[in-house]
Amino acid sequence: MDLPMRLRTGHMLALFAVSAAQFYKLRKAGRIPEPAGHIGTGKRPAPYWITTQISPFI
């Protein structure tokens, strides 16, 4: 994970091997960082994380 790449929620679920509910609990507890940004506009833009940002949390 040396190259900075975008990871969407599905990638994060697989990487941390958790369900969506568990993922959001970990995120709320601060064990997963806030998204680096969001893709799209409108009511529900999709969050993304950068690989270099989340590597310390793995």
Q: Please compute the mean of the pLDDT values over residues 10-21 and round it to a whole number.
A: 95
Q: Does the structure show a pLDDT above 90 at 42?
A: no
Is-contact 46 33, C-beta < 8 A? no
6 beta partners? 50
User: Which structure tokens are listed for 49?
Assistant: 């994380």
Q: Does the structure show a pLDDT above 90 at 11?
A: yes
How do residues 17-36 score in pLDDT, each as one tens digit?
Answer: 999 999 999 999 999 999 99
**Taking each helix axis from N to C terminus, what angle separates 20-28 and 9-16, rounded to the nearest 10 degrees?**
90
Q: What are the residue ranges spanned by the domains of the chain?
A: 6-57
49 beta partners? 7
Q: Does the structure show a pLDDT above 90 at 50?
A: yes
Q: For the whole prediction, is pTM greater than 0.85?
A: no
- Name the band, by pLDDT with cuts 50, 70 and 90, for residue 55: confident
